[in-house]
Structure 1
Amino acid sequence: MFLQVCSSFATGPRQYDGTFYEFRTYCVKPSKMNEFLENVKKNIHLQTAHSELVGSWSVEFGGRIDKVFHIWKYDNFAQQTEVRKALANDKEWREQLLIPILGLTDKQESEITYLVPWCKLEKPPKEGVYELVTFQMKPGGPALWGDAFRRAINAHVDLGYSKLVGVFHTEYGALNRVHVLWWNASADSRAAGRHQSHEDPRVVAAVRESVNYLVSQQNMLLIPTSYPPLE
């Protein structure tokens, strides 16, 4: 289910097999989060019958706490088109999942991303918490900042400060944006690892190079919903 993706990281997002991931963000209306999660938990099977849900999380810290993230995997754009056609003709999906979600959310956002070629999507070893770090990089694409960014990520991974789930860069959405999804056993273990990495000269050196290409960064602590395949 979790595949090594082969692509060129030299000039921009390209993948020979076409596999991509949709980051679907739901901004849930205030006071409606529990209702939203219960409805999706009950009816998500109506959509996973057509496409693969990689995982789902709600925001605990670091952003709007009424956000829910879904990551969907598609083999190519043709498959995504067929899924949309099938869902549009699925009365049960429309009535039990789509229409209630529309009534419980203020807006939805979608980004199409590719998994970078130097990592594979990993399944966490057990239950825990996740951190989604979003980097807005300088214009120029991976040809400019790709190697330095890779070294910064690998410094944390190789030294065991956090477990990497996946690194995704955008194809549709804000370009030069990279989402890095990390897993930790707990928020406290993540905090401890973060503090230690800040004092590790090997990490500091790698990050110092990468930040030369950085515009902005946002960190969010995520809690998995009760229906995530990653768990």
Structure 2
Amino acid sequence: EENGEGPRHQAGARPVPAQGDGPDRAGLSASSQDSWFKSLFVRKVDPRKDAHSNLLAKKEENNLYKIQFHNVKPECLESYNQLCEGMLPKIHADPQYSCELVGTWNTWYGEQDQAVHLWRYRGGYPALTDVMNKLKQNKEFLDYRKERGKMLLARRNQLLLEFSFWNEPLPRPGPSIYELRTYQLRPGTMIEWGNYWARAIEFRQHNHEAVGGFFSQIGSLYMVHHLWAYKDLQSREDTRNAAWQHEGWDEVVYYTVPLIQHMESRIMIPTRASPLK
């Protein structure tokens, strides 16, 4: 179902979030309970004549993103960081490469001894191809890759587009911690997710914590990444709790939770080379 929209929730009365995501359902009225059951079982399919990437992505800029996850041998993490600090900023600063290093981090809480890199390619797939071809001719980069390979246990990447309603991630001063929340959605629900979050993002921009929102195009599909910035873990807790004070946030949580197959949270620390500090 790469093209078109999958099943959508039937709209009903304004709900109360399911248990574990907000107030308990025990206090729901009969009409609200009926709406809650309908949200689980009553669904419809709206025909679409365009790919969800065209419906959800920004039109004014042809940006493509690549996110890389590198699992590093524990004893090599510091050496790995130093190696990346010597190479990645050079690619970022060289005008012959149509790409920008958005951020580079080490995972603090989540999968340990992991590095995460986020790149932006201004010009889409042609820019990505051009950069890859040029790097194949760059001896310093090839030596870097060879040395890097000795330090890794596993690596994977995805190509992403950014949601039209999110901020473009731009360099910011720190110090900050970053949370990468990753959602594996049920196939066919990306449009529905986007419709709800186009409204929900308004509740999460008051403290400038919203950094970027992306959805996968190549790699693991129907995957969404939300990137947030906080001063510290307590600030994260306070900011997330404050969202529940805004009317409509509970409804967003209520309707989007059933779309998720799996979710993961990483707390990440920027490395010295990261433009996002």
> Do they superpose with TM above 0.5?
yes
SS of aligned partner of 1:31: helix
Tell me the CA shift for residue 199 of structure 1. Answer: 6.3
Amino acid in the other structure paired with 2:229: W
Whether the aligned pair in 1 keeps the contact of 2:174 and 2:276 (CA below 8 Å) is no
For residues 208 and 182 of structure 2, the distance between their equivalents in structure 1, rounded to whole angstroms, comes to: 16
List runs of 5+ in structure 2 lacking aligned partners: 1-49
What residue is the counterpart of 2:52 in the other structure? 12
* Structure 1 stretches of at least 4 aligned residues deviating more than 4 Å after TM superposition: 198-201
Which one is further off, 165-174 or 73-82?
73-82
Amino acid in the other structure paired with 2:119: W
Whether the aligned pair in 2 keeps the contact of 1:155 and 1:206 (CA below 8 Å) is no
SS of aligned partner of 1:64: coil
Does residue 73 of structure 1 match 2:120? yes
What residue is the counterpart of 1:203 in the other structure? 249
For residues 223 and 90 of structure 1, the distance between their equivalents in structure 2, rounded to whole angstroms, comes to: 29
Task: Give the share of equivalent positions with the same residue, in percent.
Answer: 23
1:186 to 219, 232, 251: 232
Q: Deviations over 1:39-84 (max 9, x none)?
A: 11122234322231111111000x2111111111112211211111
What residue is the counterpart of 1:106 in the other structure? 153
1:29 to 46, 69, 73: 73
Amino acid in the other structure paired with 1:166: G
Matches within 5 A, 1:1-231: 11-14=51-54, 16=59, 17-48=61-92, 49=94, 50=97, 51-61=99-109, 63-74=110-121, 75-95=123-143, 97-123=144-170, 124=172, 126-157=174-205, 160=206, 163-198=209-244, 202-231=248-277
Tell me the CA shift for residue 91 of structure 1. Answer: 1.0
Whether the aligned pair in 1 keeps the contact of 2:69 and 2:155 (CA below 8 Å) is yes
For residues 35 and 166 of structure 1, the distance between their equivalents in structure 2, rounded to whole angstroms, comes to: 29
For residues 162 and 209 of structure 1, the distance between their equivalents in structure 2, rounded to whole angstroms, comes to: 24
For residues 156 and 44 of structure 1, the distance between their equivalents in structure 2, rounded to whole angstroms, comes to: 31
For residues 181 and 211 of structure 1, the distance between their equivalents in structure 2, rounded to whole angstroms, comes to: 18
What residue is the counterpart of 2:5 in the other structure? none
For residues 193 and 252 of structure 2, the distance between their equivalents in structure 1, rounded to whole angstroms, comes to: 12
For residues 139 and 211 of structure 1, the distance between their equivalents in structure 2, rounded to whole angstroms, comes to: 14
Whether the aligned pair in 2 keeps the contact of 1:46 and 1:93 (CA below 8 Å) is no
Whether the aligned pair in 1 keeps the contact of 2:106 and 2:116 (CA below 8 Å) is yes
Q: Deviations over 1:165-224 (max 9, x none)?
A: 000001012221110000111122112222343566542222112213222211111100
With over 3 angstroms needed to count, the CA separation of the structure-2 counterparts of 1:182 and 1:170, relative to structure 1, is: same
What is the number of residues matched between the two proteins? Answer: 218
With over 3 angstroms needed to count, the CA separation of the structure-2 counterparts of 1:200 and 1:141, relative to structure 1, is: closer
For residues 62 and 168 of structure 2, the distance between their equivalents in structure 1, rounded to whole angstroms, comes to: 15
**The structure with more radius of gyration:** 2
Question: Please, what is the CA RMSD of the aligned residues?
Answer: 2.0
Tell me the CA shift for residue 162 of structure 1. Answer: 6.0
List runs of 5+ in structure 1 lacking aligned partners: 1-9
